[in-house]
Structure 1
Amino acid sequence: MSKLVLTEEESMLADMARGFLDGAAPVSAFRKMRDEGRTHDAKLWKQMAEMGWAGVLVPEDAGGSDMGFAAANVIAREMGKTLVVSPFLSTAVMAATALRQVSDARASDALAKIASGDVTYALAIDEGIKHDPEATMMEARADGNGFRLTGKKTFVVDGAMADRLLVLARTADGLTLFDIPSDRAGITRDKSNMIDARDAAKIDFENVEATGEDVLGQVHSAMTVLRPALQAGQAALAAEMAGLSAGAFEMTVGYLKERKQFGTEIGRFQALQHRAAHLWCETEVTASAILNAGRMLDDDPQNAELAVSLAKAKATSTATLAVQEGVQMHGGIGMTDAYDMGFYMKRARVSSEWLGDYSYHAERVAALRGF
């Protein structure tokens, strides 16, 4: 069987996820959350935890299902189809992957709490307008046996509701990653109003105390722990964007079959057929890139960066095409808030920037290919 074809188990997982999400989290549920000003559904997240999704990357001995990165991507793709809002990427994928890099009782306990759905995480990494962990300037000043954190973090997705934060800061000889509660003294969270109505925050750290036990991994060696977590998140986000593209495509094709002009369904017009066919081809190529990224993360994580960046860049390009074509082929109604296509367009825009935009990943692909 080809590496780029879903296994029987993965196909069953996708079908199970789709069946659950169509009932528990359709796009109409997202619209209701948006209208009510909510960005988190605690009941839905608990249901996902009970199904094993929160522990998809948590070892079985810590209470997880440990299904692997390709399986996590399958779940993320199904979530993207109906724009599900959850801490899956931040908590179940990135935080869990970071914690797995550390072998101690504290990390195992944190993983168990993730798997049970009892704790959520957000990654406080970036400080500028673009994703660039290496440019971190937040100071972690040595203070006795611990540190004092001072600085600002932006675009912290799930940052307003998360129980804990993974915070990247600069220490004397490099970067260090801290795992701290989000309500620790000196932390101020300012919820951002993102265009896609998802939770994000700007976070200020003012002389925040961090002990040696709060360090995740080794002091001055943050990227050893953080890099695998970011790659896992980038691949899963790409999968979510692929699902978004598929959802927008399905909605567009449905409209083409129903909308009539001059007594004929507009889906019979050859020009629109060509555009729909091109978009379908792009979604299929993207799906292959994402499957490859998941396989690489499972089988050869040390050499997965090329596959992951390729998947994120391609997913960004395809999602942009899918929502632009969707809006255009819906005509005027596609631009109105009354129609769901606008939700897909806004989610695509935010997801394109999170964890590295198209240029960031295209440059990584070029560099890794020797250009």
Structure 2
Amino acid sequence: MDFSLSQEQQMLQDSVAKFVQNDYDFDTRMTTVNSEANFNQDFWNLFAELGWLMVPFSEEDGGMGGGAADVMVLMEEFGKGLLMEPYVANVILAGGLIARLGAGEQKTELLGELMAGQCQWAFAFTEANSRYCLHQVSTRAEKNATTYQLNGQKAVVMNGAAAEKLLVLARTSGESSDRDGLSLFMVDAKAAGVTRQTYKLQDGSNAAELVFENVELDAATLLGEEGQALAAVEAVVDNACLAACAEAVGAMGVSLEKTVEYTKTRVQFGVPISKFQALQHRMADMFIEHQQAKSMLLRAVLVSEQNPSEAAKAISAAKYRIGRASRRVGQESVQIHGGIAVTDELDVGHYFKRLTMLEMLFGNSDYHAQRYQGLN
């Protein structure tokens, strides 16, 4: 089987790699982490100019018509550079839902703004008691004549601090654990009745807790059919999960590379510690973990493109294996570097923090092991 990149994919990979090498060093990233916006608007505009925000969208929607493999190439390079820019929150999650559920001028306008880098989005779908279950939703949108009244809370909303527009998953009918009756609404982040508490996660990215109190929404804010949003949400979150896997593989590769280089320069008892057989074994195990994770990612991407009906199962298998590998490689990197690895001044600790976040994002390894078993 041929796993080589196409000419277009190779150009995309080279473009992102060049950006990371020339414009996104560790000091630049830390400046972004410590900024109020938590991302660089100039870089975001550059992503739009280079067409990176168009990659996953069909040509009919004004995009580049890329598939899972193209997103994998992009996200793996993002992982290598620990990019802070909210690509998954905007393009994969919000953009993916708009592309699936939007219609007519609504879809054209919203995707046009998104691909031009003119608007920041956040998808508010998790709740305090949902525990990775997408249809465990208590937030409700009650219909009154031609409007809806939104009430409820959302937790750990990715890009919630910077978002200007929110996609909110709310229940328009049924009980909190029903699969039916879920709808998506577009909400202005500054609308009356919306309260936002923002904070930073351990890897430096931003998130928010959102509270909706009697937020008035007109019918035009409904995205797709009322009560029929779950299938699209599940598919898009799976795509985001696959993107997170690709980012983790990229971050793991750099973490391994930096650890090997460190052992060649760190001298103990008069010799580089790379000469110690015990550390050689540990780094060999890290290499195996990374290669197995890469293989699982490739398999999930191929299944997603060639056999979509089996995509969910393949993605859960990949997320389980890559999650375990992320934790192993990240922990070993820190331990082999020693105490310096947990300081803010060294990037290895930041790779570990990001890998830890990616392991939990969209379901941790235990959740995806159970999900995989349930899909058999």
TM-score norm. by structure 2 comes to 0.93
Q: Which has the higher contact order (CA 8 A, sep 6+)?
A: 1
Contact 1:72 1:93 (C-alpha < 8 Å) held by counterparts: no
Residue 9 of structure 2 corresponds to 10
Aligned: 1:53 with 2:52? yes
| Equivalent-residue separation in structure 2 for 1:268 and 1:154 (angstroms) | 48
Greater CA drift, 100-109 or 130-139 = 100-109
Partner of 2:71: 72
Map of 1:240 onto structure 2: 247
Q: Give the Cα–Cα distance (whole angstroms) in 2 for the partners of residues 38 and 159 of structure 1.
A: 11
Aligned 1:169-248 pairs, distance under 5 A: 169-173=170-174, 174-248=181-255
Which residue is equivalent to 1:162? 163
Return the offset for 1:37: 4.9
Displacement of 1:266 after TM fit? 0.9
Change beyond 3 A, Cα 1:41–1:184:
same
For 1:29, the equivalent position in structure 2 comes to 28
Greater Cα shift, 248-257 or 176-185: 176-185
Report the counterpart of residue 134 of structure 2 in structure 1.
133
Opposite residue 235 of structure 2, the aligned amino acid is P
Query: Which of 322, 329, 334 lines up with 1:315 in the alignment?
Result: 322
Please tell me whether the aligned partners of residues 152 and 213 of structure 2 are also in contact (alpha carbons under 8 angstroms): yes
| Structure 2 residue identity aligned to 1:122 | A
- 1:19-72 deviation per Cα after TM superposition (whole angstroms, max 9, x unaligned): 112222222222222344551111111111111111111222443222222111
Query: Unpaired segments of 5 or more residues in structure 1?
Result: none
Mark the runs of 5 or more structure 2 residues left unpaired by the alignment. 175-180
Q: Which residue of 2 aligns with 1:105?
A: 105
**CA distance in structure 1 between the aligned counterparts of 2:34 and 2:141, rounded to whole angstroms:** 40
Deviations 1:227-269 (A, max 9, x none): 2211110100111111111121111111011111122111121
Q: Distance in 2 between matches of 1:20 and 1:180?
A: 34
Contact preservation (8 Å) 2:37, 2:162 = no
1:277: Cα distance to partner?
Answer: 1.4
Counterpart CA distance in 1 for 2:192 and 2:232 is 25
CA distance in 1, matches of 2:261, 2:354: 20
In 2, the alpha carbon distance for the partners of 1:172 and 1:247 equals: 47
Q: CA deviation at 1:116?
A: 1.1
SS in 2 for 1:133: coil
Normalising by structure 1, report the TM-score: 0.94
Q: 1:113 Cα deviation (Å)?
A: 1.4
Sequence identity percentage: 32
Tell me, what secondary structure is at the counterpart of 1:31?
A: helix
Q: Over aligned residue pairs, what C-alpha RMSD do you find?
A: 1.7
- Give the corresponding residue for 1:263: 270
Match of 2:40 in 1: 41
Moved more, 216-225 or 26-35: 26-35
